[in-house]
Amino acid sequence: LSDDMGTLTKQRGKLIYSFFNADQIFDFLISIGMRPFVELSFMPSTLSTGNDTVFFYKGNVTPPQDYGQWATLIRKLVQHWVDRYGLAEVRRWSFEVWNEPNLDSFWEGSQEDYFKLYRYTVSAIKEIDPMLRVGGPATANNSWIADFVHFCEREGLPADFISTHHYPTDAFGEPDDDTEAQLAAAKRGILRQRAMDTRRHAGNRPLYYTEWNTSSNPFFHRHDEPYAAAFAMKCWLDVTDIVQGYSYWTFSDIFEENYFSSVPFHGGFGMLTIHGVAKPIYRAAELLHRAGHEKLVVDGLHNTVDCWASRDGNRIQLLCTNHALPQHPIEREHVQITLLGAPPPQQAYLERIDENHANPRRLWEEWGKPDYLSPLQVNELHDASRLVVESLQWRAGPEGTICEVDLPPHAVAALTLEFPSRP
CATH of the domain at 410: 2.60.40.1500
CATH number, domain of 152, equals: 3.20.20.80
pLDDT less than 50: residues of the chain: 174-175
Domain count, the chain: 2
> Considering the domain boundaries, does residue 423 fall inside one?
no
> Considering the domain boundaries, does residue 138 fall inside one?
yes
Query: Do 162 and 198 belong to one domain?
Result: yes
Domain boundary among 292, 325, 359: 292
pLDDT digits (tens, 9 = 90+) for 211-234: 999 999 999 999 999 999 999 999
Give the pLDDT of residue 125: 99
Domain of 372 in residue numbering reads as 296-418
Per residue, the 3-state secondary structure of the chain, as one string, reads CCHHHCCEEEECCEEEECCHHHHHHHHHHHHCCCCCEEEECCECHHHECCCCEECCCCEECCCECCHHHHHHHHHHHHHHHHHHHCHHHHCCCEEEECCCCCCCCCCCCCHHHHHHHHHHHHHHHHHHCCCCEEEEEEECCCCCHHHHHHHHHHHCCCCCEEEEEECCCCCCCCCCCCHHHHHHHCCCCHHHHHHHHHHHHHCCCCEEEEEECCCCCCCCHHHHCHHHHHHHHHHHHHHCCCCCEEEECCCECCCCCCCCCCCCCCCCCCCECCCCCECHHHHHHHHHHHCCCEEECCCCCCCCEEEEEEEECCEEEEEEEECCCCCCCCCCEEEEEEEECCCCCCEEEEEEEECCECCHHHHHHHCCCCCCCCHHHHHHHHHHHCCCCEECCEEECCCEEEEEEEECCCEEEEEEEECCCCC
Q: What are phi and psi of 123, to 5 degrees?
A: -65, -40
Q: What is the dihedral of CA 120, 58, 3, 251, to 10 degrees?
A: -80
Q: What are phi and psi of 78, to 5 degrees?
A: -70, -40
Give the pLDDT of residue 177: 58
Pairing of strands 207-212, 161-166: parallel
Give the pLDDT of residue 146: 98
Query: Do 313 and 195 belong to one domain?
Result: no
Query: Do 244 and 393 belong to one domain?
Result: no
Query: Do 154 and 21 belong to one domain?
Result: yes
Query: Do 47 and 83 belong to one domain?
Result: yes
> Considering the domain boundaries, does residue 334 fall inside one?
yes
Query: Do 402 and 262 belong to one domain?
Result: no
Domain boundary among 292, 315, 335: 292
Nearest partner of 270 among 257, 287, 293, 253, judged by Cα = 253
| Residue 157 near residue 122, CB atoms below 8 Å | yes
Q: Which of 39, 89, 96, 100 is catalytic?
A: 100
Residues in the chain, overall count: 423
> Considering the domain boundaries, does residue 384 fall inside one?
yes
Query: Do 48 and 167 belong to one domain?
Result: yes
Query: Do 269 and 341 belong to one domain?
Result: no
d(CA 149, CA 136): 9
| Residue 195 near residue 245, CB atoms below 8 Å | no
Active-site annotation holds for 286: no
Query: Do 147 and 38 belong to one domain?
Result: yes
Nearest partner of 164 among 211, 202, 117, 199, judged by Cα = 211
Query: Do 141 and 128 belong to one domain?
Result: yes
Give the pLDDT of residue 423: 80
Domain boundary among 273, 292, 311: 292
> Considering the domain boundaries, does residue 139 fall inside one?
yes
Active-site annotation holds for 418: no
Confidence (pTM): 0.94
pLDDT digits (tens, 9 = 90+) for 96-128: 999 999 999 999 999 999 999 999 999 999 999
Q: Is the dihedral of CA 365, 366, 371, 374 positive or negative?
A: negative
> Considering the domain boundaries, does residue 104 fall inside one?
yes
Q: Which of 96, 174, 211, 399 is catalytic?
A: 211
Query: Do 248 and 389 belong to one domain?
Result: no
Query: Do 410 and 275 belong to one domain?
Result: no
